């Protein structure tokens, strides 16, 4: 019996990596605001940058206003959480008219590995004054399905998921208790909870149809195109032909190619080439795999053939990606 083809969205979630790099417990009291973004700052041994990564915020006490990269304001109260999947320059403000000040301008003290405490308030302010926010900068990786990140809203709020995913409530309540009580080990527990809540926000968006995203997402949801896309992502190293993919989609070669182009904006084989090179960039730049191993995984007969294809698609050599710490 042939193995059933799984939902490509399910495969996306199985391969998703959302890893916390740095976390902060931030006290924000009027008249202060905290701005996240440039200047860039090294966050990890691999030279990752905070700019462009995902950013997570959870309000444990009080109220703040999240000013998105596009300038929109979102009020966040106790128990609210928001994820910015593409990061970007944004701010948490004590009131809507308050300008933000760079996060690095405020003094920080270490609570534990990867977690700092920041006081964005006047020196004489009481520890119980203002809002308490737990924030995390996260490395967000969808591997071959990374194009989905560009289709996500710039701010994803947990408030839109509560009715459909009530299981997230106990995690939010636990975060609120840990952030306010500051018991032994609270910082490390908060960091782990933040990872799970952020991943739950992403899963809820995907499971509920990816909002208003269209094009590539519609192709994934299409029963016929989705089967072909799932097969490409499952086995990107196979020497696929358009005829084979059309067979999986239950369509003629010409009809399949036309539908695929209309939904994704590219041809099936160009899509496969792009998928391979996104995976190769991650495996070489982040996972530090040898180039010949990557070439073999992706179905190239030689390292030279892989290197030519990589440069044709990405504009740089595999060696250049390896020598660039932030390439992952």
3-state secondary structure of 107: coil
The lowest-confidence range among 133-142, 157-166, 169-178, 195-204 is: 157-166
And the tokens for 154?
């710039």
pLDDT bin (cut points 50, 70, 90) of residue 3 is very low
Alpha-carbon Rg for the chain in angstroms: 22
Phi (first) and psi of residue 237, to 5 degrees: -85, -5
2 pLDDT more than 70? no
For residues 152 and 154, give the distance between their C-alpha atoms in angstroms, rounded to a whole number: 6
State pLDDT tens for residues 74-129: 999 999 999 999 899 999 999 888 888 899 889 888 888 888 989 888 766 666 67
306 pLDDT more than 80? yes
176: part of which helix (H) or strand (E)? helix 169-181
And the tokens for 281?
């960039």
Closest by Cα among 152, 153, 146, 140 to 66: 153
State pLDDT tens for residues 50-86: 334 899 999 999 999 999 999 999 999 999 999 999 8
The lowest-confidence range among 9-18, 252-261, 277-286 is: 9-18
Which CATH code for domain 216-327?
1.10.10.60
SS3 labels along 245-303: HHHHHCCCHHHHHHHHHHHHCCCHHHHHHHHHHHHHHHHHHCCCCCHHHHHHHCCCCCH
| Cα 106 to Cα 28, 99, 134, distances in angstroms | 11, 15, 15
3-state secondary structure of 153: coil
For residues 288 and 183, give the distance between their C-alpha atoms in angstroms, rounded to a whole number: 39
- In this prediction the pTM is 0.73
Element counts in the chain: helices (H) and strands (E) = 12, 12
Closest by Cα among 80, 73, 28, 83 to 59: 80
pLDDT of residue 52: 46
41 pLDDT more than 80? no
215: part of which helix (H) or strand (E)? none
Name every residue whose Cβ is closer than 8 Å to that of residue 251 and which is 6 or more positions away in sequence: 224, 259
Q: Regarding predicted confidence, which is higher, 262 or 241?
A: 241
For residues 91 and 236, give the distance between their C-alpha atoms in angstroms, rounded to a whole number: 40
Query: Token pair 């194009």 is at which residue?
Result: 147
The proportion of the chain whose per-residue pLDDT surpasses 90, expressed as a percent, equals 37
Question: Where does CATH 1.10.10.60 sit in the chain?
Answer: 216-327
249 pLDDT more than 50? yes
Calculate mean pLDDT across residues 208-236: 76
| Strand pairing category for 33-36 and 101-102 | parallel
323 pLDDT more than 50? yes
């Amino acid at each position: 019996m042939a193995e059933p083809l799984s939902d490509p969205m399910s495969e996306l979630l199985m391969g998703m990596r959302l890893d916390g790099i740095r976390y902060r417990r931030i006290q924000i009291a009027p008249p202060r605001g905290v701005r996240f973004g440039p200047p860039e700052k090294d966050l990890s041994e691999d030279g990752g940058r905070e700019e462009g990564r995902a950013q997570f915020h959870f309000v444990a006490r009080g109220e703040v206003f999240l000013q998105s990269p596009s300038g929109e304001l979102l009020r966040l109260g106790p128990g609210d959480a928001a994820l910015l999947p593409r990061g970007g320059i944004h701010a948490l403000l004590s009131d809507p008219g308050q300008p933000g000040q760079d996060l690095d301008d405020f003094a920080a003290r270490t609570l534990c590995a990867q977690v700092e405490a920041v006081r964005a308030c006047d020196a004489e302010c009481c520890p119980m004054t203002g809002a308490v926010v737990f924030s995390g900068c996260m490395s967000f990786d969808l591997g071959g399905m990374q194009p989905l990140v560009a289709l996500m809203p710039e701010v994803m709020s947990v408030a839109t998921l509560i009715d459909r995913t009530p299981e997230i409530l106990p995690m939010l309540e636990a975060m609120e208790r840990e952030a306010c009580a500051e018991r032994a080990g609270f910082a490390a527990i908060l960091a782990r909870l933040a990872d799970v809540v952020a991943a739950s926000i992403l899963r809820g968006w995907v499971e509920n149809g990816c909002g208003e995203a269209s094009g590539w997402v519609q192709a994934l949801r299409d029963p016929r195109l989705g089967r072909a896309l799932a097969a490409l992502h499952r086995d990107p190293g196979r020497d696929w032909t358009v005829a084979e993919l059309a067979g999986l989609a239950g369509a003629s070669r010409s009809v399949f190619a036309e539908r695929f182009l209309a939904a994704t904006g590219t041809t099936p084989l160009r899509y496969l080439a792009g998928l391979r090179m996104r995976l190769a960039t991650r495996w070489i730049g982040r996972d530090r795999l040898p180039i010949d191993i990557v070439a073999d995984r992706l179905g190239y007969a030689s390292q030279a053939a892989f290197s030519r294809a990589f440069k044709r698609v990405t504009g740089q050599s595999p060696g250049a990606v390896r020598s660039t710490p932030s390439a992952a």
